[in-house]
Structure 1
Amino acid sequence: MNQKRVNTKRVNKSLIYKAVIITVALLLLVFAALRISGNQSVQLLSREQAEQAVLKEYAGNVESLKLQSGKYVAELETAQGLYELKLDGATGEILSIVLLKRTAEPSVPPTPSASQAPAGGTTDTPSPAPSPSAQRVVSEDEAVRLALQEVAGKLDDVDTGINESGAFYLVEINTSDGREAVVQVNAISGSIMSVTWEEPDVDNS
């Protein structure tokens, strides 16, 4: 009788050990399956898709593109210089843009030259082939939209320029109270560089 009880206890302990081992194994399998499915749910963009995401936002040439910790790091060569951009590896959203090297600009901003229309000309026709220094990564329409978000009003005029900070737009806006604002928009990043207010001239004559 005692021998039967001992054998029964041994069998019970053996079954308990096996049950514990099976349970642990199942938990490990479930955990591994969850990790695999979680990784598969985040689909990263291909290199081609990431490059297209950059060129969709900025004009230029993608010199290099690499994946780092789920983010794409691209080097973009534009007329204004070499920029480093970081993109979300899954959505292609531009997370940051940093100027690495500025393109050497002439000391005098681009002006009508002998190859263009004379300064005294009465017509105001655009040049058929703008120089590389006139290339911009933010379109004129986009600059106007950004300026009107900063200052509410009606568009009056848009001009362009280049200084030591790079290319920019000057967007003139007439406000409802009769004032005029000149909004300077960075042509690379689209950021608002400055807002200058001009009071209307009053002619008392």
Structure 2
Amino acid sequence: MNRNQVNKRMIFNVVMGIAALLLLALAAFWMFGKDSEPLLSQDQAEQAVLSEYAGKVDSLKLQAGAYVAELQTEQGRYELKLDGVTGEILSIVLLKHADEPAVQPTSAASPAPSGGAAPTRSPAPTPAAQSLVSEEEAVRLALLEVPGELDDVDTGIDAAGAFYLVEIHTSDGREAVVQVNAISGKIMSVTWEEPDGEDS
């Protein structure tokens, strides 16, 4: 009886040890296997940026498996972060607006100029001539759409262009993610996330 119990315990320990080793090997392969994928060359990373945005790449550095690029466009200077393997653009941040005056949204209509002829103005704003909405402005617009308390702000890019994701906690305990267009400031979507658990 005792010998039988000892044998069962030994078999159990051996099986558990093998299972633990397999799990460790699988975790190591998953973590380090990604690092073995070849990184894009600087030329390939630059082409990935220029295929998405018109402009000139002024600098490109590899940092912790990702490329960080500075891009000069008609709208201004941007910092982009790219996945070092796929070239996917992970984030874009406006560093400096272009020197030329851009069409800025105003809080009130401007009065008509006095003295007859209107000053020379640029034509109606096009997407290329508009300035990027700042993070603070995106938060303000999101809070107008969904009142509450700011939790977090992220940036992203899709086929429609750059956008902000503003996470807001509402007074009733829900969380909303408001997607704000980074060029126009328009609210693109509002997604409501269900609470993890309901407190009773």
Please tell me the TM-score bracket, short chain as reference. 0.3 to 0.5
Q: TM-score, normalised by structure 1?
A: 0.37
Q: TM-score, normalised by structure 2?
A: 0.38
Larger Rg: 1
